[in-house]
Amino acid sequence: MTSRGYRPRRYSLTAGAARGAERRFQLAGLARHQINKVFPWHFSFLWGELALYSFVVLLGSGILLTLFYVPSMDEVIYQGSYAPTYGLEASRAWVSVMQISVDVHGGLFLRQLHHWAALIFLAAIMLHMARIFFTGAYRAPREINWFIGVAMLVVAIFEGYLGYSMLDDLLSGTGVRIFSGILLSIPVIGTWLHWMVFESAYPGEIYIERFFIAHVLLLPGILLALIAVHLAVVWYQKHTHFKGPRARESNVVGNRTLPVFAMHSITMLLITTGVLGLLAGVAQINPIFHWGPYNPTQVSNGSQPDWYALWLIGSLKLFPPTDISVGGEYTIPGGFFSGVMIPLVLILLLFAWPLIDRLRDPDRELHNVLDRPRDAPQRTAIGAMALALFGVLTLAGTDDVSATVLSIPLEPLRWVERGAVFVLPPLVYLVTRRLCERLQRSDREALSGGIATGILERPVDGAYRSVQQPFVGVDADGGEHDPEYDGARVPKTPTPQRLRGES
């Protein structure tokens, strides 16, 4: 350490700029506090970043796509350079997407980048949400960010749906038709809502223009605002962390914003962008030049929405045929229950989870240390149960394809799925609960009895004995005591010294 003190250099460009900013905004204290802020690290904390950076890619690629996309349902003749569809009548929207895919330099890359980013965005949101759920990070004081997060999930699903509905190819038109059917099914106001969106019976002449504005302005604006609040709350409340040697409720252990956290975060941005770019290049997605333009009298077999909408289709498919007559004069179609009520109830349950959790768990403390999923068996089992339901609905959404691919008859498969909706989630609940309890026991046993080293000893009495490496707790003042479980991960592999037979 030098004895010479440090002062900012008097004359340099950066020093000048810094001094200028300081004089006007009193930045030094504020900025220092932010660059010294500590962020914990765990691989599961990256899902949120993955979602954020997919969104960045979506914004960038989306802005470029708007320069070429034409939101119009006017009928024109396709005269682009793609020969198989030359001369077909189609909407200008479809023709413009064809132009992007075939006649714009690098346009297909951009389109596929945008679509892949959307798929990964939704997947990342759900993984992030699962992490928050299973570790109990939604508990006080962070309920607000759970609510914002579920709101963003819903907006993102609509955003993705609107995005692929705008292309007006055979697949997307089918999706809009189903949306129209769901709208119509709403009792009393369904037809009025339909006319609010479509201005007429399906399909009308305006929905693509409206979907476009919602997709490029309204919903991204809402998402941006919610993301800003979401991040601000994380920043202000400080990130949660797992229990560790130094990590406790009153502190946060990790890396400071600069340089290490920022380096890791930018790395994550680059990996997201790079992998999405690779997918956009080599993995074809939504080849609308194969589907052809939309025609309401046609549909291709095996029509599938993007993966995040499959659970909604699953709900539509599995619901039994019902048309409820009200007073012999009015009808509530089954689509209202399967297409509106079930999704609405599931989303509301998800949204209200931190409140529902309070009925189950009397704990009202503030929590900064995350639970390991095994230490909250009931919560983990409830989450696994929800995932099982989501999984069954998603598989049901795609069952026509799986029935074809696996050459199994669809009808019995559908009945199995209907049964699975009721049987599988409770079963998963019980199994997960048992599994958590067993894992807890294994941790306790390791702490009290030590870890199996795999070495067998044969003492003089002749019996074989498995060698266990014991745990020893160390007090703050260096004394030893019996180890106790405190919520941190218990290592289950022996350390090398013991393996070599030292002790």
Partner 1 sequence: MSEDGSTPSERDLDRMDVRELGRLGAHLDDVEVVDDSPRHEPGGPGERRAIRRVAAWFVLSVLGAIGFVVVYVLWPWQYTSTGPQETLRSWFTPMLGITFAISVLALAMGLLEWSKTVAPPDVAIQQRHDGPSPPVAQRTFAARTVEILEQTGLRRSKLLRRTVLAAGTAFAGILAVTALGSLIRNPWRSEGPAPLVTTEWHSPDGERTYLRMDTGDPHSVTLVRPEDMVPGGLLTVFPFRESMRGDPEKLSKILRSADSSVILLRFAPGTPVVEQIGQEDFNLGGLYAYSKICTHMGCPVSLFEQTTLRILCPCHQTEFQANEYARAVFGPGARPLPQLPLAVDERGYLYAPHDFIEPVGPGFWSREPRG
412 binds partner 1 (CB under 8 A): no
For the bound state, the minimum distance from the C-beta of residue 498 to partner 1, rounded and expressed in Å, comes to 26
CA dist 192 and 183 (Å) reads 9
CA dist 195 and 202 (Å) reads 9
Under rule CB under 8 A, which residues in 246-285 are in contact with partner 1? Answer: 246, 249-256, 259-260, 263-264, 266-267, 270-271, 273-275, 277-282
3-class SS at 407?
coil
For the bound state, the minimum distance from the C-beta of residue 65 to partner 1, rounded and expressed in Å, comes to 15
Beta strand 465-469 with 473-474 is unpaired
3-class SS at 74?
coil
Q: Which residue stretch of 62-70, 317-325, 375-383, 384-392 sits at the interface with partner 1 (rule: CB under 8 A)?
A: 317-325
186 binds partner 1 (CB under 8 A): yes
300 binds partner 1 (CB under 8 A): yes
CA dist 454 and 256 (Å) reads 41
* Nearest C-alpha neighbor of 276 from the set 167, 161, 118: 118
CA dist 249 and 368 (Å) reads 5
| Concatenated DSSP letters of 83-136 | GGGTT-EEEHHHHHHHIIIIISTTHHHHHHHHHHHHHHHHHHHHHHHHHHHHTT
**Residue 183 parent element (H or E):** helix 170-185
Under rule CB under 8 A, which residues in 8-47 are in contact with partner 1? Answer: 32-33, 36-38
* Minimum CB distance to partner 1 smaller for 25 or for 330: 330
* Minimum CB distance to partner 1 smaller for 254 or for 450: 254
Under rule CB under 8 A, which residues in 436-455 are in contact with partner 1? Answer: none
Start-to-end Cα distance in the chain: 40
* Minimum CB distance to partner 1 smaller for 231 or for 260: 260
Give the interface size with partner 1 as a residue count (CB under 8 A).
112
Spell out, one character per residue from 460 to 479, where the chain touches partner 1: x when CB under 8 A holds, - when not. --------------------
* Minimum CB distance to partner 1 smaller for 399 or for 443: 399
187 binds partner 1 (CB under 8 A): yes
For the bound state, the minimum distance from the C-beta of residue 199 to partner 1, rounded and expressed in Å, comes to 6
335 binds partner 1 (CB under 8 A): yes
406 binds partner 1 (CB under 8 A): no
**Among residues 302, 419, 449, 454, the one that binds partner 1 under rule CB under 8 A:** 302
Beta strand 89-91 with 473-474 is unpaired
Q: Which residue stretch of 74-82, 131-139, 438-446, 485-493 sits at the interface with partner 1 (rule: CB under 8 A)?
A: 74-82
Q: Which residue stretch of 182-190, 220-228, 345-353, 443-451 sits at the interface with partner 1 (rule: CB under 8 A)?
A: 182-190
* Nearest C-alpha neighbor of 41 from the set 250, 264, 259, 268: 264
